[in-house]
Amino acid sequence: MRGQYPPVPLDRGWKGVFNSTGADYEFGTRAEGATTILLTCAKGRPDLLVTVATEEDEAGYDDPKVRLRHARIATATAGKASRKWGCGAHLGKPLRTVGLPVTDVESTPVHSATGTCAGLPGRRGTVTHAWESRRDGIAPLEKCVLGDGRTHRNEEGDEELVHSAHYDLNAYYGAYATERLAHERATGTGTGTGTGIGTGPPPGKGLEGELPRGGYWRTASCPGDSTPAFFTIVRPDLADTFDTPSRGEAAYQRSALGAFTKQSAASHGCTPKTPKH
């Protein structure tokens, strides 16, 4: 499965990412692919996010020609959107290739990570491996997944990943950050939070805090962006629960998020807003 793992950035000057999921023939689902492109509009005009989603049969997006065809539809759509809405964005050059996101069994030892997981700390017993994509400094979304990397063979003889725990770290920039901040604030009024939810400022207001549904967030200021870049860490098995993380668990999440924020922000020319502890 790829959808829950890091998307790959486009190249040739496009601020965009591609991700896909495999087909599941047992349940009759087709392979799905999605490309999202951030259009940084001229001064005084709001940025645009353009997303194109398609479906494929059989090998789907494992075929590089299929990925390229899909992504070229997205870049063409982005160009049309820029012209229609008077965005005036700088567009990239025609794509030649599109990478393939990693799967659940395609990890690297955490201390050997060189992409979106570079420089992140491990944790004995639970964080030994990383699932990452390359970091290009302009992608509007970056993701790193951390876990223990254990696998076993299922009844069909295929390798499957078994997490004792894992962490999702995400970086959002430009209109992506605006959209994600709105989502977090809109969903942060319920109960069931997992990390002492409800304490501290709402997401994006201030320097750092706890996500309403579990996990932590930080921000960074970026040249030319009125909305700060937004960074999060979530442990899915603790999200939306009433379980308060241990002191060690909370300390690890904050440490990993701090390292992720520093690395990602630096690659984008942004400055993390450093809290005083």
Whole-prediction pTM value?
0.87
SS3 42: coil
For every residue of 89-145, DSSP letters joined together read PPP-PPP--------TT--EEGGG--STTTT---BTTTB-EEE-----S--SEEEEE
Q: Per-residue pLDDT tens for 179-218?
A: 998 888 777 543 333 333 444 556 666 678 888 778 899 9
SS3 21: strand
Residue recorded with tokens 């991700």: 19
Cβ-Cβ contacts under 8 Å for 167 (sequence gap 6 or more): 127, 145, 146, 147, 233, 234, 235, 253, 256
Closest CA to 223 of 272, 267, 269, 266: 269
Within 13 Å, how many C-alpha atoms sit on residue 196's CB side? 11
Give the pLDDT of residue 245: 79
Closest CA to 140 of 109, 168, 186, 173: 173
Cα separation, 176 vs 247, in Å, equals 31
SS3 24: strand
Residue 224, pLDDT > 50, answer yes
Mean per-residue pLDDT, 99-120: 92
Over 210-265, what HEC string results? ECCCCCEEEEEECCCCCCCEEEEEECCCCCCCCCCCCHHHHHHHHHHHHHHHHHHH
Residue 268, pLDDT > 60, answer yes
Q: Per-residue pLDDT tens for 116-152?
A: 999 999 998 789 999 999 999 999 999 999 998 776 5
Mean per-residue pLDDT, 247-269: 95
Residue 17, pLDDT > 50, answer yes
Q: Is the distance from CB of 156 to CB of 31 less than 8 angstroms?
A: no
